[in-house]
């Protein structure tokens, strides 16, 4: 397989999209980017599922991209989350996005239609042909209804601008097989926040982690310590973090994350868009207790 020039590793953040009174909250979005520029984040992903991309119209998506790109000032790579079950529509969206300031695309497998492997291969081949920018495939069968098999993925990895995978296959045997068989230039990043430590131990290059909105440096430290050979230190760091993903995914994402960010003043509102709803009072109390236990300063 070919060696790819665009290497993804470390922590990539699928950025939440702040809303205020039903509209895109540009000021909060800008503030988030300024905040995470100071954190050990390798890149940002806009309008992905954590960013409620399926609820954004095209003008909102474009405005979010320009807001993030301007706030990042070229210091942090920006990728765009893209998904859909009509290959022609996805290709068209990417052709339009090629004029926007994005470094590449995170593209989910088609959902609901459950194509066979040949259909998946042709789908991603057409997407890669629509751009000269890097494409990262997002495999999450428990949401899409279809699993991208390793043989299909490794065939797609022969395409020069298909550079990596966000791995949420939920099958450690499949993940380990991929890590053994992939080329040295093909990146595998876990998207399973609760399995981050194990994924890095087994050889994943990093993670695309919604939970890393919180305790960002601590997530990065787990990988850094493992890369230095300090497994005991990494395990201790992970043990201090491991309850956080469970808490932040106790109700549909990104509502718990937005609640935490709102409580700390990083965003103006915890609003989400239907069908996602804001966190329950019970979960809000648990998040408040966790913030107190971690000594997190709350907004006035």
The total number of residues shown for the chain amounts to 300
Q: Which residue has the tokens 């868009």?
A: 273
225 three-class SS:
helix
CB neighbour list of residue 60: distance below 8 Å, 6 or more residues apart: 24
Q: Which of 105, 166, 197, 259 is catalytic?
A: 166
β-strand pairing of 19-20 with 104-108: unpaired
As beta bridge partners, residue 187 has: 164
Q: Is 112 tagged catalytic?
A: no
Cα separation, 106 vs 45, in Å, equals 8
From the list 194, 184, 197, the residue with the least C-alpha distance to 226 is 197
Q: How far, rounded to the nearest angstrom, does the alpha carbon of residue 210 sit from its chain's CA centroid? A: 6
Residue 154 Cα to chain centre, angstroms = 21
Is-catalytic flag, 286? no
Tell me which of 36, 105, 138, 259 is the catalytic residue.
138
Catalytic positions are 138, 166
């Amino acid at each position: 397989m070919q060696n790819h020039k665009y290497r993804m590793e470390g922590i990539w953040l699928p950025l939440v999209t702040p809303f205020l009174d039903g509209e895109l909250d540009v000021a909060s979005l800008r503030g988030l980017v300024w905040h995470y520029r100071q954190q050990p984040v390798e890149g940002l992903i806009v309008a992905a599922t954590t960013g409620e991309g399926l609820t954004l119209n095209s003008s909102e998506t474009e405005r979010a991209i320009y807001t993030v790109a301007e706030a990042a000032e070229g210091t942090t790579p920006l990728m765009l989350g893209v998904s859909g079950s009509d290959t022609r529509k996805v290709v068209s969206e990417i052709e339009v996005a090629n004029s926007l300031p994005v470094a590449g695309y995170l593209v989910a497998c088609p959902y609901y239609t459950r194509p066979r492997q040949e259909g998946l291969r042709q789908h991603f081949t057409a997407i890669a042909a629509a751009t000269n920018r890097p494409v990262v495939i997002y495999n999450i069968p428990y949401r899409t209804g279809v699993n991208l098999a390793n043989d299909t993925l490794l065939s797609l990895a022969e395409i020069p601008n298909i550079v990596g995978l966000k791995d949420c296959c939920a099958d450690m045997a499949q993940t380990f097989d991929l890590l053994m068989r992939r080329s040295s230039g093909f990146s595998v990043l876990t998207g399973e926040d609760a399995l981050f430590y194990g994924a890095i131990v087994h050889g994943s290059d990093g993670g695309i982690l919604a939970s890393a909105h919180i305790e960002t440096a601590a997530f990065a430290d787990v990988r850094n310590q493992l890369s230095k050979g300090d497994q005991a230190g990494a395990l201790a760091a992970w043990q201090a973090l491991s309850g956080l993903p469970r808490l932040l995914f106790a109700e549909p994402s990104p509502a718990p994350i937005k609640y935490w960010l709102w409580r700390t003043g990083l965003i103006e509102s915890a609003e989400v868009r239907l069908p996602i709803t804001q966190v329950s009072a019970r979960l809000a109390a648990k998040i408040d207790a966790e913030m107190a236990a971690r000594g997190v300063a709350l907004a006035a």
